[in-house]
Amino acid sequence: MGVIILIRRCVRREKNRNFLQAIERDKPTHPDFISETLTKVSEREDLPIRCKDCTTYVNVAHWKTADAFIEHMKPKRTHEATFECEDRVRIVLEEI
């Protein structure tokens, strides 16, 4: 069945192009990586997931296992200072 990994990314508006290029360039190559879809959160003020003063993206990634994701991506609470405003937030969802 696999797992779904949601990753919120807060990107400085003037750096959106750099971010999108990095996402395309750095796609996972692990054999347990299935697919991903990058989404952009609506700019509505009343959405609690939005990042303040940044563009909010949510990457929806499908992996065979959470362990494979963690092994390959080595996630930690951090951000890429050249284009991100805040630390990434990740959640692992198990399919039922």
The CATH number of the domain where 33 resides is what? 3.30.70.100
Q: What is d(CA 85, CA 12) in angstroms, rounded to the nearest whole number? A: 6
Strand, coil or helix: 22: helix
**Full domain range(s) for residue 12:** 3-94
Number of structural domains in the chain? 1
**Which ranges of 1-96 would DSSP assign to H, the alpha helix?**
16-25, 66-73
- Tell me, rounded to whole angstroms, the distance of Cα 82 from its chain centroid: 16
User: How much is the pTM?
Assistant: 0.87
- For the chain, percent of residues with pLDDT exceeding 70: 100
pLDDT tens digits for range 31-74: 999 999 999 998 877 777 788 889 999 999 999 999 999 998 88
CA dihedral over 12, 51, 53, 43, signed as positive or negative: positive
Is the pLDDT at 18 greater than 90? The verdict is yes
Closest CA to 56 of 75, 37, 42, 76: 42
